[in-house]
């Protein structure tokens, strides 16, 4: 039996449509590699992992996703992993995200997906002679996640400029040493390697202040004039554009995790202690989560203060016109700054 040309064309068109449907349904990645760092500021990611929130929202969108959770000590190596294609979603401080945004505008187009929190950063010292930033000298060594580019390093530069005047933003850079928070805490409190100060984050900074030798020199809210985003999640434009359902599922899962932190801090604390194998008492972690200075939100806050500073001192070649330039459009309707 021979087919007419019209019949053959219709069958061919239907076959093409079926093939396109099959490949279209599976076009988005099934394995997503997600990075986080140490500390309770990454609890939204930890809760997503523990409660399988991403899998839940991905399934509702028709996706079968298998997350891989990877831990880093700072944002710089995550940026290297993003560019090399070994990581899909990075999470870290505002500084590394703005840095890679500026460096990849004409290539990979890295942008933020959402914020993780708004939290202060404490500069803690065990040197009794240091009462303020003006007292820091060559006798001090400040551990922070990454020199020059971490949010702690940028905040220290902003504080130096305020304390010592225009052009003095790098005055204290020579005192800084790159070190992960757990190692930095151990080095400072153990008086090892000459480290006598740590520009850290929660829970490390709160724990350090329990030591009678330790005291806070200043915090980032003082430098920034109020609350600011500490951590964000970012990705390349290619990943974002090729995985629209997954990106929406990730933001929905992140929002669920933030709600657990706000509404069920005891549950969130128990998750942190279990998954991070922390030796901190669950009640103490809950206390940190509940502190009014720590806000669990996906809304970017005070991002532009960092971007403006980085551009002014030459660390960012192009100045974003708005915080929205730094993020993908999924969060553009939020009341960010």
Query: Is residue 151 a contact partner of residue 95, using CB atoms and an 8 Å limit?
Result: yes
Residue whose C-alpha is closest to residue 141's, from 180, 179, 192, 196: 196
User: In sequence order, what E strands does 135-248 have?
Assistant: 142-144, 176-178, 197-199, 215-219, 231-235
Bridge partners for 142 per DSSP: 176, 197
Determine the Cα–Cα distance for residues 89 and 238; give it in Å rounded to an integer.
12
Query: Is residue 91 a contact partner of residue 48, using CB atoms and an 8 Å limit?
Result: no
What is the pLDDT, as a whole number, of residue 315? 94
First to last CA, the chain: 69
Cα 283 from chain centre: 25
Q: Omega into 260 within 30° of 0, i.e. cis?
A: no
What is the pLDDT, as a whole number, of residue 152? 95
What is the pLDDT, as a whole number, of residue 314? 94
What is the pLDDT, as a whole number, of residue 253? 98
Give the containing element (helix H, strand E) for 66.
strand 66-71
Write the burial class of residue 9 (CB in 10 Å: 0-12 exposed, 13-18 middle, 19+ buried): exposed
Determine the Cα–Cα distance for residues 307 and 112; give it in Å rounded to an integer.
13
Tens-digit pLDDT profile for the chain (337 aa)? 444 443 433 333 333 333 333 334 447 889 999 998 888 999 999 999 999 999 999 999 999 999 999 988 777 788 899 999 999 999 999 999 999 999 999 999 999 999 999 999 999 999 999 999 999 999 999 999 989 989 999 999 999 999 999 999 999 999 999 998 999 999 999 987 899 999 999 999 999 999 999 999 999 999 999 999 999 999 999 999 999 999 999 999 999 999 999 999 999 999 999 988 888 999 999 999 999 999 999 999 999 999 999 999 999 999 999 999 999 999 999 999 9
What is the pLDDT, as a whole number, of residue 190? 93
Determine the Cα–Cα distance for residues 99 and 268; give it in Å rounded to an integer.
31
Q: How far is CA 234 from CA 56, 65, 93, 192, 238, in A?
A: 21, 19, 10, 35, 12
What is the pLDDT, as a whole number, of residue 77? 83
240 contact partners, CB below 8 Å, separation of at least 6:
111, 113, 247, 328
What is the pLDDT, as a whole number, of residue 8? 38
Write the burial class of residue 278 (CB in 10 Å: 0-12 exposed, 13-18 middle, 19+ buried): middle
What is the pLDDT, as a whole number, of residue 108? 97
3 state SS of 158:
helix
pTM score of the predicted model: 0.87
What is the pLDDT, as a whole number, of residue 120? 98
What is the pLDDT, as a whole number, of residue 276? 82
DSSP 21-32: HHHHHT-S-SEE
Mind listing the domains of the chain with CATH numbers?
Answer: 30-119+229-331 (3.40.190.10), 122-224 (3.40.190.10)
Query: Is residue 307 a contact partner of residue 313, using CB atoms and an 8 Å limit?
Result: no
Report residue 172 as tokens: 């204290």
């Amino acid at each position: 039996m021979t087919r007419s040309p019209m019949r053959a064309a219709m069958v061919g068109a239907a076959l093409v449509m079926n093939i396109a449907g099959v490949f279209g349904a599976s076009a988005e990645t099934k394995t997503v590699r997600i990075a986080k760092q140490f500390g309770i500021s990454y609890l939204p990611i930890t809760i997503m992992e523990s409660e399988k929130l991403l899998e839940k929202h991905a399934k509702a969108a028709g996706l079968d996703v298998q997350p891989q959770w990877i831990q880093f000590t700072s944002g710089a190596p995550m940026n290297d992993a993003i560019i090399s294609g070994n990581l899909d979603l990075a999470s870290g401080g505002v500084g590394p995200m703005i840095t890679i945004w500026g460096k990849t505008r004409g290539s990979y187009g890295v942008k933020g997906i959402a914020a993780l929190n708004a939290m202060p950063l404490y500069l803690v010292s065990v040197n009794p002679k240091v009462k303020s930033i003006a007292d820091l000298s060559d006798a001090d060594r400040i551990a922070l996640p990454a020199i020059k580019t971490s949010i702690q390093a940028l905040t220290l530069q902003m504080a130096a400029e305020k304390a010592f005047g225009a052009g003095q933003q790098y005055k204290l850079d020579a005192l800084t040493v790159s070190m992960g928070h757990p190692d930095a805490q151990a080095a400072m409190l153990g008086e090892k390697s000459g480290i006598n100060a740590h520009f850290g984050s929660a829970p490390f900074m709160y724990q350090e202040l329990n030591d009678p030798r330790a005291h806070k020199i200043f915090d980032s809210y003082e430098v920034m004039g109020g609350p600011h985003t500490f951590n964000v999640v970012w990705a390349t434009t290619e990943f974002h554009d090729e995985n629209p359902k997954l990106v929406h599922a990730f933001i929905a899962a992140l929002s669920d995790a933030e709600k657990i932190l706000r509404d069920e801090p005891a549950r969130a604390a128990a998750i942190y202690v279990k998954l991070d194998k922390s030796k901190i008492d669950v009640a103490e972690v809950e206390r940190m989560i509940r502190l009014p200075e720590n806000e669990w939100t996906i809304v970017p806050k005070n991002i532009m203060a960092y971007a403006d500073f980085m551009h002014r001192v030459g660390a960012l070649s192009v100045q974003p016109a708005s915080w929205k330039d730094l993020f993908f459009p999924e969060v553009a309707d939020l009341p960010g700054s």
